[in-house]
Structures are given as C-alpha cells and as structure tokens.
Amino acid sequence: MGNAEHVQRYRLFVAYWLLKVVLTPPFHLLWRVRVEGREYVPGDGPAVLAANHQSFCDSLFLPLVVPRKVTFLAKAEYFDSPKTAWFFRAVGQIPIRRGSGKEAERALETAASALDEGRLVAIYPEGTRSLDGLVHRGRTGVARLSRECGVPVVPVGIHGTVDVQPVGKRLMRPGKTVVVKFGPPMRMTPATDRAHPLADHDHRECREFTDTLMHEISRLSGQPYVDEYVPKRSSTSSAA
C-alpha cells in the first residue's frame, strides 16, 4: 500500500469518526432510537452485519448504534456525483456495481477483502430496498462470505426507518421511533481450502443458511417474510 493510499485511508478514518461524533447526539435528540442485542456484535475482528432494508436512512441509523466502524457495500451510483461521493466514502461505504454475474463476484471479492482486513461489513441480503413492508428472499452472497472468509454473520432487524424517510423523500421526519435489533451470530462451516473455496461449494447449504438468516431478520424486524426476491422496479422509482 502506497503512502498516498495510507493518507487517504487516514483521512476517511478521521472523517468517519468525526461524522459519528457530530451526528449521534442530534439523531438521539430528533428520533427515539432503541437498540436491542448490541452485545451480539463482535468487539473486534471481521464479521458481517446482515440487515433488512426499507429506507435510505437504514445506512445512517445502523452504524450510529454500533461502537465499531461499519463498512457498507453501497450502490456505485451514490458515488457518481462529486457533491455526494465524499460523504459516502467518509461514512465507510464501498462502491459496487450490481448487475451481471461478474459484477456480483467482484462485489463479493470487495467484501472479502474488507473482511480480510478485520472490518465489520454491513450487507443487505435482499439486494435492494423492499417497498412493501416485507422481508424478502435473500441472495446467497452473505452465506458465501461466511463460508469462504470464516466469519460470523449477525442478523439485524431494523424497524421504523421507512416512517422517518419514506422512499422518494429527501427530508427525514423527526419524532419517529427507530428500533435496531441484533440477533445471535450465525456461521457457515468454513471452506476446506480458502485458496479454492468453490472446490467443495454446496449451493443448497448456502441457500438453507440464507433462508434461515432471512427468517431471523424477519423475526427481529417484526416484518413478515415472503419467499420471493424483491420485485424489480424502474430506474425512476428506485433512484430516490
């Protein structure tokens, strides 16, 4: 790692904690934030936080209630504007492009690299926001990360953020209650050979793990589970 990259990382590290120090008091003043099960989040070492996703502000409330720095895998579109890119990098988000199988693999590789550095990585297994108040079928990437990187997955249920910031609204409504619940960590059996993790890959096992994880997220969030992927929507409706 070059000196310039070290400097950039240090600046982002400082920016993250400055933003957290500045934003945490007003968040607790403007909204009633309730946290349960925070003891399930590992105090150090790599781990994945797997949460349901209904509002843009999920990515603000979740890291504010975790004492460690949280690294999100975020849509690369958030980084396309220089006016906002600095903020997403400062709050610990890594840009990924979604779409083809190759892009999905690159996203997993990016997450695995962050975990190899000992980071706490947050992922929305549904892949995108749910607009119907339900927890949907999850993608198996989170199971693969647990298996290939040998890390625990902490299920997270978030409730109330859609009332704070409904889809399509830029402003956040004060006075609402947001509940963030963490559940006991789950873990896939590690790959036999980390260098060749797909050699003994069992998709069925990953699917079963993911389904169990999504049911637990549903229980924690208090939102019903449906065994269907989040429906695709037009770029117009998903841009907000």
Ranges of H-type helices in 121-160: 141-149
What is the C-alpha to C-alpha distance for residues 151 and 118, in angstroms, rounded to an integer? 10
pLDDT at 234: 54
pLDDT at 30: 97
Range of the domain at 114: 33-238
Per-residue pLDDT of the chain (240 residues; tens, 9 = 90+): 567 777 777 887 888 898 899 999 999 999 999 999 999 999 999 999 999 999 989 989 999 999 999 998 777 777 777 766 777 777 767 777 666 567 778 888 889 999 999 999 999 999 889 999 999 999 999 999 999 999 999 999 999 999 999 988 889 999 999 999 999 999 998 888 777 777 777 889 999 999 999 999 999 999 999 999 999 865 434 333
pLDDT at 239: 35
pTM of the model: 0.89
Q: For residue 90, tell me if it sits in a domain.
A: yes
Non-local CB neighbours of 138 within 8 Å, separated by 6+ positions: 50, 125, 126, 127, 210, 211, 213, 214, 217
Tell me the three state secondary structure of residue 18: helix
Q: Please, is 39 exposed, middle or buried when counting C-beta atoms within 10 Å of its C-beta (0-12, 13-18, 19+)?
A: exposed
Pairing of strands 177-182, 153-159: antiparallel
What is the C-alpha to C-alpha distance for residues 114 and 134, in angstroms, rounded to an integer? 29
pLDDT at 208: 97
pLDDT at 66: 96
Q: How many domains is the chain built from?
A: 1
Beta bridge partners of 73: 94
Looking up residue 116, the CATH number of its domain turns out to be 3.40.1130.10
What is the C-alpha to C-alpha distance for residues 12 and 159, in angstroms, rounded to an integer? 29
Q: For residue 220, tell me if it sits in a domain.
A: yes
Contact 72, 94 (CB under 8 A): yes
What is the C-alpha to C-alpha distance for residues 206 and 204, in angstroms, rounded to an integer? 5
Q: Return the structure tokens found at 2.
A: 């070059």
